[in-house]
Amino acid sequence: MSGKKGDKEGCPALELIDFNNALEQFQNLVEKMIIQKTKESSGLYTKDNDERDYEKFYTTTRTLFGSAVKDQDIQAFFRKVMRNLDERPEWLEIFGCFRRANGGMSSTSKESMVLLVSEKQQITHSVVKRKDVIKGIVKVPLLHLTVTASQKGVLTVFRKQMKVLTTINIEDTAWITGCDFLPNLKYVVAVTESTIILWDYKSKESKSDGFVIKPMKNCLLCVCTVTVADNLAKDTILMGDDKGYVYLLTITSDDFIMKQSKAEKEAQFKVLDAESFDIPKRKLHDDWVGKIKYFSALKCFGSCSTDSTNSFVLDDIKRLEDHLPVKEFSVPKGVNAFTYCGKAKVIVTGGNDRILRLWNPVVNFSPMGKLLGHKHSIVEIVTNEKDQHVISLSCAKVFRVWDIQTLSPLQVFYEDHGTPEEMNSFPMVFDNDHGLLFTGSDVIDIYPLANVIQDSKELPQTHEKSLNVLLYNRAFHQILSICTESILKVWDLETGSQIYQLEDAHGLNIEVTCAAIERNGVYLATGACDGTVKIWEFESGQEIKALPLAQHSNDEHRMLKIVYLKANEGQHAVIVLEQRGKIKIIQGDSTQTDLYVTWVLPEIVPFPRRNPVVYLSLKPASLKTQDFFPEIRLLCNTSCMKNDTETFLSSVDIRCFDVLKVEGGRLIATGSANGEINLWDFESASVKCLRKTTEDNQGSGVNAILFLVHRISSSRKRSSQSPTPSVRSDASAIAEQKGSSSDQHEKNAESDEINTEIKTEETTSCKDTQNPKMNEQLLKARAGLSPLLASAHESSCIRLWSIQGNLMKELLPFSGCPSGPLTVLCTDIFTKILLTGSKEGYIFRWNMASFLEDSRNKKNEIKEELCWRAHAAEVVDLFIEEEKNVVVTASIDSSVRVWHARIGYYFGYFGQARKFELTDTSRLILPSDVNDFSAIIKEESKHTEKKEVLYPLVLDRDKLKSLTGSPSDLEKAGHEEAVHGFKFFRALAPEKLQHLETFEFVSKEAGAVFGLLPIYELEHPIEVSMPNSLQRIKAEKSGHKGREKHPDSIEDLSQDK
């Protein structure tokens, strides 16, 4: 215990004494004390006049250093020497100064930090008195509360964001030594040296603040709650005292009434007699019980002491009553603190020997591992469950963070504020829900985790530019993202790490606008703004084939969408949508090096207004060239067509399309900006225009379209066994992928290679005889197994159509905030879940399993289950991964984010530094640009559906007078009765009173009767009076009776109402 001259710097100036001589005498005093204590432990010491106890040590130290040392520092130094004979404290500690640990104390970058000390927050509310310290901090996750207790009796309850909810000053003279929260009774429990305080933190000023149980025979040092939710009217607490006893106390709500002391006068707390309680106790340690905790996962309690033999006890609370042997852990110099990590299933203990030990809860004779590094006694330990980290604190205010899995130190930092004293009971708790470390001294310090700060403050960014494409390769479990800068990145879904990237895939400054992955995951097709299309090997990123650039390329050939039809080593086929509205099939085979156009869908179709169905004349022989859709020939010249009263032309402003090829049906559906949906059915040889007849063109544009194919159990089983089941079609269906695309000028291909024929017919007599497979399709439709078509619109609604052209359902999302136009649709592989994304960044989840099983049954509804805001900007695309139960979203905000599919929990974004943990949802984190957590939609919380109320017609007398004013020719001819009836009905009109809108609740339980009644609003109250005709009749009757009984009586009818 040697001192150096350099150590004197920073210590208080000592006056009138020689510091070196005083320091030498102090060191000799400490050495004699250690020798005396060693002899006492071995039984060789005999008492004499030179015995050195605390009083002599205090007197000598005060004589040597005077007022430069404080009483609490002298007491702390003496305790440390007596408990740790092998550990020789430095003389600086007598002045309240501690050396910083050398190892690992160098400043590290934020990326390598676990806890960001620079982002520390301090709560400086009056939670303590003057010269007071916090003795306990408790988190109550279910109620979002934080409870603190100071040594001098200040109890404080904080709500969210550490705002004070309520506080109380205990008037008991004894010091508080620990606190906890009773979850069932909703009381704060605190223990002092001789009492148990039960504080009702919700009590009003006029009532009592709670109860106090006294007297307790020994000095209580610690308390904890047994968290067993078996009874809502009682709580069980465990306590430890200074004699090594552990107490078990059960408190019920009836005890507050039955066991009050009658002799006591009115006081701050009502007194409960301790003798009236059955409090089992058992001596488990030979020294003070330093801490006591209950672990729900183990169904055991733990208690620790500085006793080297019975240092730590871990067993069932029943052992406190039956006195059977308990499981004891022996640690040299005892245990000051302990904790349990549920993920790693280890107990961690620390004490005066400065070593952290990891124990298997079942094995008590040898630790699993040791963590070395602390220079001073360990006084507190907490666990970060999610990251499997242990945070330990020494009496020198040095924090160390350890990784349990690797048994390695991660971070060391030092706290130098507050009163410099040894902290034998320094409270510390870790909030696993929010990733925050709470510590207490004379203030509350809050240290955030680095990854929480990163997720909550840094804007997620996967690319530097806006995203165009998001795809999922189910075979490789990998993500493909493409931005407007034409940087293509491939990511691993499970970890979030990047696998590879391609730049300028279609050439320098050529934007890649769309892409598609074939169903086996081997090949990738991309389309660009200049009309080019390329085929790639997904795993290697090697280009295979390409569609050459057209000579006259312009923005009209920009690719908006591309879908893979077929892919193998010999042949590739994709169907694409250009910005000008043209849909074409592009193919390539082994005999040719380049891709080429083989089929084009007509751009403009004239539809009859009365029945918008056009029947086609197909050429089945053309299937030999491209195997997908037959060619059609356009006989009429669409350039001469125009809208008139009999026909209208289909829109060329096509935004989206989807393809479905199943047994017995080949369909293409297109959606336009004006709300038109054209359904091309190549089995029935027809094209239908689907449109809601009562809707205005404005706000009805179709942004996304998707075929929904119902799967029976057998097909589901096959799909689950398939390596890459398609998200949007059946086993042989074609998966739709979103994107935008290439510019391609194929005038020669359109005029020479493509023959199209359309025959318009207004009769439907031959429609069932054109193709025998149509009958099979109708049978499926009658059985409720026909595919449906879903469309997402600018008006924020989703519409479900039958392939016969009938509107079956219209859905509006439920949200507290306006969702905005819907931009994207997707389903799971079983078509049970429908996901939609909006222009405002919201995601909506719908359950449609029962509806697709039998869409004709009105009881089978589509239920909205979840909504959350995933981005602050437009959602470009999304998909759901059923095996990992996640939803991945992409937005124009340059980020690709991962969410839990059922609860909307945020896992992170692709491109972040840390890896994903897709199975852990314990910590609530949101991106920096999102403020609201996900909302689970319940049936009773659905919005009300606005219903148009038809009010009864009333006779408009003014209108009737105008009609009857001039006799007609029919009246002159003797038809007066017929003419009068005609005029009467012509004079009926809706009532002119102002009325309120009425609503019909979706939930029939509320508003089933009153929701349908019209509600009228009267501007001025109308005095209810009897009509004149009734007044005359009543006057006559009353006058007749009056003459019979009282002839002289006159009744004033004018006052009768």
Q: What is the pLDDT of residue 82?
A: 72
Round to whole Å and give the CA distance between 763 and 774. Answer: 17
Q: Is the model's pLDDT at 129 over the cut of 80?
A: no
Token readout for 137 is 């901090």
Specify which of 352-366, 455-469, 681-695, 709-723 reaches the highest per-range mean pLDDT: 352-366
Residues 6+ apart with CB under 8 A from 189: 179, 180, 181, 182, 196, 197, 198, 199, 223, 225, 237
Q: What is the pLDDT of residue 1027?
A: 60
Round to whole Å and give the CA distance between 872 and 866. Answer: 18
Round to whole Å and give the CA distance between 487 and 505. Answer: 8
Q: Tens digit of pLDDT for each residue in 145-193? A: 999 998 888 999 998 888 888 998 887 767 899 999 998 888 999 998 8
Q: What is the pLDDT of residue 723?
A: 41
Phi, psi of 350 (to 5 degrees): -150, 150
Token readout for 656 is 């989206």
Could you tell me the pLDDT band of residue 722, with boundaries at 50, 70 and 90?
Answer: very low
DSSP assignment of 278-294: ---EEE--SS-EEEEEE
Element (H, E) at 27: helix 19-42
Q: What is the pLDDT of residue 438?
A: 92
Could you tell me the pLDDT band of residue 721, with boundaries at 50, 70 and 90?
Answer: very low
Candidate from 15-24, 366-375, 755-764 with smallest mean pLDDT: 755-764
Q: Are 642 and 717 in contact (CB under 8 A)?
A: no
Q: What is the pLDDT of residue 24?
A: 83
Q: Is the model's pLDDT at 765 over the cut of 80?
A: no
DSSP assignment of 293-330: EEETTTTEEEEEES-SSS-EEEE-TTHHHH-----EE-
Q: Is the model's pLDDT at 468 over the cut of 80?
A: yes
Token readout for 318 is 């029943």
Could you tell me the pLDDT band of residue 32, with boundaries at 50, 70 and 90?
Answer: confident
Q: Is the model's pLDDT at 774 over the cut of 70?
A: no
pLDDT top residue among 725 and 25: 25
Q: Is the model's pLDDT at 1003 over the cut of 60?
A: no
Nearest to 577 by CA among 589, 565, 559, 593: 559
Q: What is the pLDDT of residue 46?
A: 66
Could you tell me the pLDDT band of residue 664, with boundaries at 50, 70 and 90?
Answer: low
Q: What is the pTM of this model?
A: 0.58
Q: Are 562 and 737 in contact (CB under 8 A)?
A: yes
Across 246-253, average pLDDT: 90
Round to whole Å and give the CA distance between 97 and 100. Answer: 10
Could you tell me the pLDDT band of residue 1028, with boundaries at 50, 70 and 90?
Answer: low
Separation in Å, CA 957 to CA 411, 983, 984, 992, 1024: 90, 11, 9, 13, 21
Residue 314, amino acid: L
Q: What is the pLDDT of residue 635?
A: 44
Q: What is the pLDDT of residue 965?
A: 62
Q: Are 606 and 641 in contact (CB under 8 A)?
A: yes
Across 435-459, average pLDDT: 79
Across 314-339, average pLDDT: 92
Task: Return mean pLDDT, the chain.
Answer: 77
793: Cα separation from own chain's centroid: 26
The CB density around residue 171, as the number of other CB atoms within 10 Å, is 10
Q: What is the pLDDT of residue 462?
A: 92
Could you tell me the pLDDT band of residue 962, with boundaries at 50, 70 and 90?
Answer: confident
DSSP assignment of 539-582: TT--EEEEEPPPTT--GGG-EEEEEEEEE-SSEEEEEEEETTS-
Q: What is the pLDDT of residue 606?
A: 83
| Three-state DSSP state, 31 | helix
Q: What is the pLDDT of residue 940?
A: 47
pLDDT top residue among 723 and 340: 340
Cross-strand partners of 393: 380, 399
Specify which of 519-523, 1006-1010, 1018-1022 reaches the highest per-range mean pLDDT: 519-523
CA dihedral (1031, 1036, 1041, 1044) positive or negative: positive
Q: Is the model's pLDDT at 759 over the cut of 50?
A: no
For residue 71, what is the DSSP state? H
- 331 exposed, middle or buried (CB, 10 Å; 0-12, 13-18, 19+)? buried
Phi, psi of 46 (to 5 degrees): -120, 135
